[in-house]
Amino acid sequence: MAGPRLAIVGATGAVGHELLRVLAQRDFPAGAVRVCASERSWGKSLPFNGSELTVEEATPRVLAESDIVFIAAGSGTSRALAPQAVENGAVVIDKSSVFRMDPDVPLVIPEINGDDLTWHLGIVSSPNCSTTPLAMVLKPLMAISAVERVIVDTYQSVSGAGAEAVRELRLQSAELLDGGAAEARKLPHQIAFNVLPQVETFLEDGYTTEETKLVNETRKILHEPDLALSATCVRVPVTVGHSEAVHIEFRHAVTVEQAREALSQAPGVRVLDDPAAGVYPMPIHAEGEDDVLVGRVRRDVSHPRGLALWLSSDNLRKGAALNSVQIAEELVRRGLLTFERHPEGAKARA
Amino acid sequence: MAGPRLAIVGATGAVGHELLRVLAQRDFPAGAVRVCASERSWGKSLPFNGSELTVEEATPRVLAESDIVFIAAGSGTSRALAPQAVENGAVVIDKSSVFRMDPDVPLVIPEINGDDLTWHLGIVSSPNCSTTPLAMVLKPLMAISAVERVIVDTYQSVSGAGAEAVRELRLQSAELLDGGAAEARKLPHQIAFNVLPQVETFLEDGYTTEETKLVNETRKILHEPDLALSATCVRVPVTVGHSEAVHIEFRHAVTVEQAREALSQAPGVRVLDDPAAGVYPMPIHAEGEDDVLVGRVRRDVSHPRGLALWLSSDNLRKGAALNSVQIAEELVRRGLLTFERHPEGAKARA
């Protein structure tokens, strides 16, 4: 049987670009690959695996001729196109937050809850780029002891806000080094040589949507609906790679050695933990890497059953494109490309 | 009576430079100001208050002719010169960590524990630049309820590592923007477009000296020797201004409104907290400011009696030079420039 036919919606963006790279690098057995984007990119060519793909419109026909549609183009596009693609028989792997908390949509990190794919109804969501590395690190530790509370403060790169934010960081950095002023367009304030305690937008309770997603998505992925979790999400002047300082309270004490051992056995996690030798995760290590890097594992001295640790992860790869491709691989492996249709088609238009 | 005669040891460094600016800005009633540094700077001129000061050696004679000696020149210099200065009758205001945890040395933030100055024996220590803003924010909240536990993750600027680290950040940034490679000399790894979960050096328990200082100094300043507190200290590519994500557990629930009110009344603290309008503390706001800026005050959703908040502070001013000058002002105001000599002279040489 020929491999599944793929369409990538949002192919010209930061995540779309990485999706093409990851598909090529992993030799994904695609029957065909089509690339879609907004009107201004139609007709452009994108390199893929030694050939060139032409950007086209995501028409109902393109969707109907695809088995898997990756959508990485913002919430509006996901809301409009996901139900269409599903009605046309495709499975949607969606990077937006639109469907993630929908009880009919599995939110999947294959290493953690691949089994949730079995109940998909056409749409599978891939988690937020700050959620994924946290869940990847919590899951193996939860096999040692239940987790009672997690506090996480993030150090998130600008590529999480898209390719335009990356250009903004570079442009502002150059302007400021030249003695000029920095103009903020994409991000709410100057990001070069600054940090912003704002990722996305604020809700009534003083948390941002990013922080709220981190809490809710982690609970859903880990099947821990009552996990106590709070976060401060901060944008830092880094191009690629999200880092997180994590403080975990366990029900039963977990030693540093037990934690390191469990993490080093976990697929998709790599322990980099020899701080005295200057070895710990950093964004410059994480960029381009598939694994979530974890280190600085130590007793949390403020809690009798606490551990503290630090992680870095490529937000465009495991935080986005890689995880989406892994979902596709898992759907293929489990024979889950045919499905009962998701009722979202009706809901999303309601 | 003429004002006290001052000597500044380490006058050519980042903190020394800021000390001269703060003394001038606050019209400190100095009888004389002398500036000392290492041999390569002797004879150089430093601008001060419209005139020029000539850098000289910190000889016993210079120390003997001073009433207050500020030392901001690294641990070795503090260890060598502080006892000498005290023996020569000067009060030392020391920025290094050498004497901070000495039970015979008050560690003072004037707004918090100015009364501890009354028992000084010649040396007064000024806290670490990540400790000061945290203590400034915890103290007014502790007036509402006892604090049971604090978790803090920092976003610390390179100027905390000295003027050379600032040059390194700028140089690396320019090199990387030009497509070149970044060379790390002063800091352990590339800092431009990266974050380092290392400030200072690692101890046996996996914490850094910076993190350990943050814990121990906060306890000493707040007179809370058993406060549960843990930290991850992280260097970020910011020139000036340390920020901190803080999670506080209180004995009795404290509302967001109570916390904001207490913080807005606290001297040296300014509340910037209208996140929906993009108003929250950032390093670019903190630079050059005397106040510790605090915002994003919200319930910590992971704890029934928890609050989370965010602060930024100029690490060279309130985190260093300003606090030292405020200590000097307080010593003058309280008439504490004569004293029983500190036994450290003997200890330090033992």
More confident residue, A113 or A50: A113
Spell out a b/e string for B22-42, using b for 16 or more CB atoms within 10 Å of the CB, else e: bbeeeebebeebbbbbbeebe
Rounded Cα gap, residues B320 and B327, in angstroms: 11
B285 is annotated as an active-site residue: no
Main-chain phi, psi angles of A10, to 5 degrees: 95, 30
Angle at A222 between CA A221 and CA A224, to 5 degrees: 115
CB nearest to B232's CB, from A149, A303, A308: A308
Alpha carbon of A286: minimum distance to chain B alpha carbons (Å): 10
| Mean pLDDT in consecutive groups of 10 residues from the start of chain B, 350 residues | 90 94 96 96 95 95 96 95 95 97 98 98 97 98 98 97 95 97 96 98 97 98 98 98 98 98 98 97 97 98 98 95 98 90 47
ipTM for the assembly:
0.94
Predicted TM-score (pTM) of the model is 0.95
Tell me: pLDDT of A306 over 90: yes
Phi and psi torsions of A183, nearest 5°: -105, 130
B chain contacts of residue A191, beta-carbon cutoff 8 Å: none
Pairing assessment for the beta strands B123-125 and B147-155 based on DSSP bridges: unpaired
Describe the crossing of helices A14-25 and A163-177 by its angle, rounded to 10 degrees.
110
Q: Report the Cα B3 to chain-centroid distance in Å.
A: 25
Per-residue pLDDT at B2: 77
Residue of A165, A157, A130, A321 whose CA lies nearest to A239: A157
What b/e sequence results for B265-291 when a residue is b if at least 16 CB atoms lie within 10 Å of its CB, and e otherwise?
Answer: ebebbbbbbebeeeebbbbbbbbebbb
Residue A42 to residue A55: CA distance in whole angstroms: 5
The CATH code of domain B131-315 reads: 3.30.360.10
Q: Hey, are the CB atoms on B206 and A247 less than 8 Å from each other?
A: no
Of the candidates B17, B120, B242, B285, the residue annotated as catalytic is B242
Give the pLDDT score at A342: 56
Q: CB A302 to CB B170 under 8 A?
A: no
For residue A349, is pLDDT > 80? no
Give CA–CA dist B248/B300, Å, rounded.
8
- The tokens for A142 are 């939860």
Q: Are A94 and A123 in contact (CB under 8 A)?
A: yes
Q: What is residue A339's predicted lDDT score, i.e. its pLDDT?
A: 73
Say whether A250 sits in a helix, a strand or coil: strand
The one-letter amino acid at B307: L
Distances (CA, A) of B203 to A146, A257, B191: 29, 17, 22
Q: Which residues of A touch B226 (CB under 8 A)?
A: none
Chain B closest-CA separation from residue A78 CA (Å): 26
* Candidates B17, B36, B120, B129; catalytic one: B129
Going by pLDDT thresholds of 50, 70 and 90, the confidence category of residue A19 is very high
Distance CA B16, CA B190 (A): 26
Task: Determine how many CB atoms are found less than 10 A away from the CB of residue A103.
Answer: 6
Catalytic residue among A17, A36, A120, A129: A129
Mean residue pLDDT of chain A comes to 95
SS (H, E, C) A104-155: CCCECCHHHHHHHHHHCCCEEECCCCCHHHHHHHHHHHHCCCCEEEEEEEEE
Distance CA A142, CA A123 (A): 28
**Region A206-225: what's the mean pLDDT?**
98
Task: Enter the tokens of residue B7.
Answer: 């000597």
pLDDT at residue B205, as a whole number: 96
Element (H, E) at A270: strand A269-271
Q: Is B165 exposed, middle or buried (0-12, 13-18, 19+ CB in 10 A)?
A: buried
The answer to whether the CB atoms of B300 and A229 lie below 8 A apart is no
Report the percentage of chain A scoring pLDDT > 90: 94
Specify the pLDDT at position B338. Answer: 83
What residues of chain B lie within 8 A of the CB of A230, using their CB? Answer: 247, 300-303, 306, 308
d(CA A181, CA A190): 9
Interchain pair A303, B239: CB under 8 A: no
What average pLDDT does this structure show over A273-279? Answer: 97
pLDDT at residue A347 tops 60: no
Q: Is A332 helix (H, G, I), strand (E, B) or coil?
A: helix
Tokens of B158: 């390179």
- Under an 8 A CB cutoff, do B276 and A202 touch? yes
Rounded to an integer, what is the distance from CA A105 to the centroid of its chain? 16
A contacts of B301 (beta carbons < 8 Å): 205, 207, 215, 228-230
Number of alpha helices (DSSP H) and beta strands (DSSP E) in chain B: 11, 13
* Cβ pair A154, A313 in contact under 8 A: no
Contact A140, A262 (CB under 8 A): yes
Between the alpha carbon of residue B64 and those of residues B25, B35, B98, B341, the distances in Å are 26, 14, 22, 14
What is the average per-residue pLDDT within A213-217?
98
Who among A245, A297, A301 is closest to B234 (CB)? A245
- Are B117 and B329 a contacting pair, CB within 8 Å? no
In three-state secondary structure terms, A7 is strand
Q: What is the C-alpha to C-alpha distance for residues A136 and A239, in angstroms, rounded to an integer?
A: 22
Has B129 been annotated as catalytic?
Answer: yes
Q: B155, A238: Cβ pair inside 8 Å?
A: no
Query: What are the residue ranges spanned by the domains of chain A?
Result: 5-127+320-349, 131-315
**Amino acid identity of A276?**
A
In CATH, which of 3.40.50.720, 3.40.50.800, 3.40.50.300, 3.10.450.50 is domain B5-127+320-349?
3.40.50.720
- Put simply, the answer to whether B236 touches A236 (Cβ < 8 Å) is yes
Mutation target vs B (from A147, A152, A175, A232; most B CBs, 10 A cutoff): A232
pLDDT of residue A343: 57
Task: Identify which of A49, A97, A90 has the alpha carbon closest to the alpha carbon of residue A73.
Answer: A97
3-state helix vs strand vs coil in chain A, percent to 5: 35, 25, 40
Eight-state DSSP code of residue A318: I
- B244: tokens are 């901190």
Partner residue opposite A303 with nearest CB, options B188, B228, B236: B228
Bridge partners of B93, per DSSP, are: B70, B124
- Whole-number Å distance between alpha carbons of A82 and A137: 30
Element (H, E) at B47: strand B45-48
Nearest CA in chain A to B298: A206
pLDDT at B341: 65
Pairing label, strands A242-250, A147-155: antiparallel
For residue B155, what are the β-bridge partners?
Answer: B243
Q: Which of A130, A150, A151 to mutate to test the interface with B (most CBs of B within 10 A)?
A: A151
Angle between helices B322-333 and B14-25 (to 10 degrees): 50
Residues of A in contact with B177 (CB under 8 A): 170, 173-174, 177
